[in-house]
A = this chain, B = another copy of it.
């Protein structure tokens, strides 16, 4: 797809068709993601793919519980606005997406957050290019249970940077409004 067209169809998707995403396709998108630039070409990104709905549901429950605990401890947190929805038992933070991708980086790599964010940007564009939809779901990244971390293969020395719901979109959502670019200064 033309890049200019892709900019229009890459939207945060929160309604997914009840249709599996083939693992081979997910692997292709991950390969594209690794074309992102990284500090010193260090490529510190690592991926976890979850297509088990049961595991995904348990992660959602775990993450909601941890974020609610955080909000209760810090009621002034910017996350507090999500409290009402997080308290709904049947709210799946991943919008029932058929697949869930974590992009994580080693805690020791200074640029890992930025590098993994670049890979996530490539992932979202590559997915849209293939007719898929993604949504970066930060509410799904709060995993503290060691058992669950082990179950999904997340080592202690890695931090989750991007949490992406993935699936076939029911529709391409309307583009959310954008502010005019904030250009602080042009020095000529």
Interface residues on A, range: 35 or more
A154 CA to B55 CA, complexed, in Å: 45
Q: Is the CB of B52 within 8 A of A35?
A: no
**At the interface, yes or no: A86 with Cβ under 8 Å from chain B?**
no
A142 within 8 Å of B (CB atoms): no
Decide yes or no: A51 and B187 within 8 Å by CB, A37-B12, A176-B41 being known contacts. Answer: yes
Q: A187 touching B50 by the CB < 8 A rule? A: yes
**Structural contact, B46 and A182, CB atoms closer than 8 A:** yes
Task: Enumerate chain B residues within 8 angstroms of A52, measured Cβ to Cβ.
Answer: 187-188
Report if A69 contacts B (CB, 8 A).
no
A138-B111 contact, Cβ under 8 Å, with A2-B2, A52-B188, A187-B51:
yes
A138 and B50 alpha carbons, distance in the complex (Å): 34
Q: How far is the CA of A136 from the CA of B151 in the complex (A)?
A: 36
Q: Does A132 lie at the interface of the complex (its beta carbon under 8 Å from any beta carbon of B)? A: no
**Stretch among A60-68, A89-97, A114-122 lining the B interface:** A114-122
Within the complex, which residue of B118, B153, B183 is in contact with A49, where a contact is CB–CB below 8 Å?
Answer: B183
A93-146 residues at the B interface, CB under 8 angstroms = 104, 110-111, 113-114, 117-118, 120-122, 124-126, 129, 136, 138
B117 touches A114 (CB 8 A): yes
Nearest opposing residue in chain B for A111, CB measure: B138
The smallest C-beta distance from A76 to any residue of chain B, in angstroms, reads: 13
* A161 / chain B contacts, CB cutoff of 8 Å: 114
Contact A110 B3 (CB under 8 A): no
Further 9 A-B residue pairs, CB within 8 A, beyond A34-B178, A78-B110, A111-B138: A34-B181, A45-B182, A46-B182, A47-B181, A48-B183, A49-B187, A114-B114, A152-B185, A153-B184
